[in-house]
């Protein structure tokens, strides 16, 4: 009991879920489950053995529970948990303002770690999809191979001359999304007919915890409004649009010994 007092309610709930799942699936080891859910084995082991003093990252929670519950739709997944549970609160805090069709598929992460696959898939995930010509214009002739491979893997499909992603609304791990930001920024203001409407601003300053929390709330509200606007049925068009929101401190992260 003394060991459990050191762990949060979230860690205890995740440990209980893991134990129940592994107890029902004797052929799957913790290492095997790690490969299925996209969470590192070391992180799973710390949760399972109650050796972590920090709450797991939201993406870790998402990877574990979406795999166990066999539900990729994030909003549907949240509905499977009581609102008082720590798992629900973790998911709600991080994903409640996303599109209600948003899905998380760990097996997609490996494919989209490749920058060309990512750009092709992201364009195909637009409501109106994209064309082979548009992709080649952006990435060059080698992109033809990437398109054909995604078609072969049945991750995208072609209809009436346009390419569409099978999973239009998808979420990537934070680290993977951040990895691709430089690739996205490469397109900012590059030949767009809306170059006067592009925006880039970098701000850094030392602020109090209260101000940081207020900035976070403002950004969450702005993101909710933007997501709501671009997901309206009558918002679909021909302009490939992307919006990147990054808010963090420059402090070193705490270590979990």
37 in the same domain as 70: yes
The reply to whether 257 falls in a domain is no
The reply to whether 65 falls in a domain is yes
Number of compact structural domains in the chain: 2
Q: Determine the pLDDT at residue 4.
A: 44
Q: How many CB atoms lie within 10 A of CB 184?
A: 16
132 in the same domain as 34: no
User: Is there a contact between 77 and 37 (Cβ–Cβ < 8 Å)?
Assistant: no
pTM: 0.55
d(CA 4, CA 11): 9
Query: C-alpha distances in angstroms, 123 versus 126, 144, 156, 166, 186?
Result: 6, 14, 11, 12, 15
130 in the same domain as 76: no
Helix axes 132-139, 115-124, angle to 10 degrees: 150
**Residue at which a domain ends, from 95, 126, 143:** 95
Q: Determine the pLDDT at residue 148.
A: 93
Give the domain CATH number at 16.
1.10.260
Structure tokens at 30: 């913790």
Q: Determine the pLDDT at residue 125.
A: 86
Q: Determine the pLDDT at residue 191.
A: 54
Q: Determine the pLDDT at residue 18.
A: 93
The reply to whether 208 falls in a domain is yes
The reply to whether 22 falls in a domain is yes
Extract the residue ranges of the chain whose pLDDT is less than 50. Answer: 1-4, 255-257
Q: Determine the pLDDT at residue 98.
A: 63
Nearest of 100, 94, 105, 12 to residue 51 by alpha carbon: 12
Residue 148 has φ and ψ, to the nearest 5°, of: -65, -35
205 in the same domain as 125: yes
- Half-sphere exposure (Cβ direction) of 152: Cα atoms closer than 13 Å: 8
The reply to whether 55 falls in a domain is yes
110 in the same domain as 204: yes
113 in the same domain as 70: no
Residue 165 has φ and ψ, to the nearest 5°, of: -80, 140
Q: Determine the pLDDT at residue 100.
A: 62
- The domain containing residue 13 runs over which residues? 4-95
224 in the same domain as 118: yes
Q: Determine the pLDDT at residue 164.
A: 92
Q: What is the pLDDT of residues 99-111, one digit of tens each?
A: 565 666 666 777 8
3-class secondary structure, 73? strand
Sign of the torsion formed by the C-alpha atoms of 87, 224, 177 and 143? positive
Structure tokens at 49: 């053995």
């Amino acid at each position: 009991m003394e060991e459990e007092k050191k762990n949060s309610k979230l860690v205890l709930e995740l440990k209980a879920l893991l134990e129940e799942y592994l107890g029902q699936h004797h052929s799957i080891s913790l290492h095997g489950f790690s490969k299925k859910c996209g969470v590192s084995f070391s992180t799973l082991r710390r949760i399972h053995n109650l050796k972590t003093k920090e709450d797991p990252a939201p993406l870790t929670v998402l990877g574990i529970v979406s795999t166990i519950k066999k539900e990729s739709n994030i909003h549907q997944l949240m509905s499977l948990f009581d609102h008082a549970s720590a798992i629900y609160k973790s998911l709600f805090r991080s994903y409640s303002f996303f599109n209600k069709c948003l899905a998380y598929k760990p097996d997609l992460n490996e494919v989209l770690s490749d920058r060309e696959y990512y750009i092709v898939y992201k364009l195909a995930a637009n409501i109106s999809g994209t064309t082979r010509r548009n992709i080649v214009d952006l990435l060059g002739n080698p992109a033809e191979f990437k398109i054909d491979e995604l078609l072969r893997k049945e991750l995208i499909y072609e209809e009436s001359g346009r390419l569409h992603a099978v999973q239009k609304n998808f979420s990537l791990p934070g680290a993977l999304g951040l990895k691709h930001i430089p690739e996205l920024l490469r397109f900012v203001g590059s030949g767009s007919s809306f170059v006067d409407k592009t925006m880039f601003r970098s701000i850094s300053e030392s602020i109090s915890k209260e101000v940081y929390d207020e900035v976070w709330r403002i950004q969450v509200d702005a993101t909710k409004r933007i997501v709501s606007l671009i997901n309206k049925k009558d918002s679909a068009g021909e302009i490939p649009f992307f919006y990147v929101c990054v808010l963090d401190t420059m402090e070193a992260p705490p270590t979990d010994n």
